[in-house]
Amino acid sequence: MFHISVQFTIEIYSPFQRCVNRGSPKAGIMRTMTIKVAINGYGTIGKRVADAVDAQDDMEIVGVTKTRPAFGCDLAVRKGYPLYCTFDDAERIASFADAGYICHGGLSDLLALADVVIDCSPGKVGASNKATYEQAGVKWIFQGGEAHEMTGMSYTSSANHMENMNVQGTRVVSCNTTGLSRTLVPLYDHCGELSVECTMIRRAADPGESNKGPINAIKPVLKVPSHHGPDVMTVKPEIKINSMAVAVPTTIMHVHVVTATLPEGHGLTTASILEMWSRSPRLVIMNGAETGITTTAEVMEFARDIGRKWGDLHEIFIWEDGVKLEGNTLYYFQAIHQESDVIPENVDAIRALMGVEGDWLVSVAKTDAAISKYNNL
């Protein structure tokens, strides 16, 4: 059995593509109608969100920020995204020109052009930017490294798109919370009640990071429960869920070990749960024994074969032969590509905040189709 609930084709990246797009009728005629998006923090998440936004016909990137003229600036220049400094300090802005980059100004200059800013700064740093966004009068979206208490609102496409319609700001929940929501929300919607225990086996660092670990140890998160389960309740409070977590020496993917208790009379079977998930967006279901995809290494190789840039996998990967319903207890594993599952969610969140699409399924379909087309898939 092999289900993919999205369309895959092959991505061919051309550094010249932006030049073609910039001069296209889309860029010119649609300019006044599109949502203007600023990216504050052009790192692992920021550069991916920028491309996902650039792919859409109802929004455009008005600029991205870097703290200093470091190597990420080259990518922004190649993509044709106007480059701004994360800070308004004149000396820091001037340092970009000294390094040979055209810097269009500081964060305030960028915010003056934007309808919404996507804050992709490192975890817990974003909170210090909130007052600046409020002062500039732009809508704001933070990432999962920030606390729900700071934003007062959280978002994931499958759980609470409608509740985020027209709000001033929100937080796209973490990669793990997004992954849990993708499989648990459809189950909850069917059962009307759900109690979950899960363990997050977390990658120690992203592939591009050299300052994190462990590199030869298994590190339990000595906070019980870990934040992941309670975080699901910020977008779907009806799901009762607890989690524990361990970090392991890998850079590719998290794996979740999930045990869910379904209510009496749920009427589901293992096969019908797989069928339900196969109809839910952004999930991939594969049989490990049949495909030979039995570890996260093969999942990532599969993702690279699809051909999305950076080898990204926006979908949550479920092993069909790792799913079993025993009476009222459901057991399953799922794998999360930490750097990319939240990327399309940011695009859907923009549509919710700007009040342009109330149906999350319509937004998801539009987002994903545009990303595929953009990547020539």
Residues that are catalytic: 175
> At its nearest, how many Å lie between ligand NAD and the CB of residue 262?
29
> At its nearest, how many Å lie between ligand NAD and the CB of residue 202?
10
User: Nearest residue to ligand NAD, using CB?
Assistant: 43
Pick 175 or 273: Cβ nearer ligand NAD:
175
> At its nearest, how many Å lie between ligand NAD and the CB of residue 40?
5
> At its nearest, how many Å lie between ligand NAD and the CB of residue 251?
10
CA–CA separation, 368 and 315 (whole Å): 11
CA–CA separation, 254 and 350 (whole Å): 26
Pick 34 or 143: Cβ nearer ligand NAD:
143
Chain residues in the site for ligand NAD (CB under 6 A): 40-46, 67, 72, 86, 120-123, 125, 129, 143-146, 174-175, 206, 338-339, 342
> At its nearest, how many Å lie between ligand NAD and the CB of residue 75?
11
Pick 150 or 289: Cβ nearer ligand NAD:
150
CA–CA separation, 326 and 305 (whole Å): 35
Pick 86 or 156: Cβ nearer ligand NAD:
86
Pick 50 or 196: Cβ nearer ligand NAD:
50
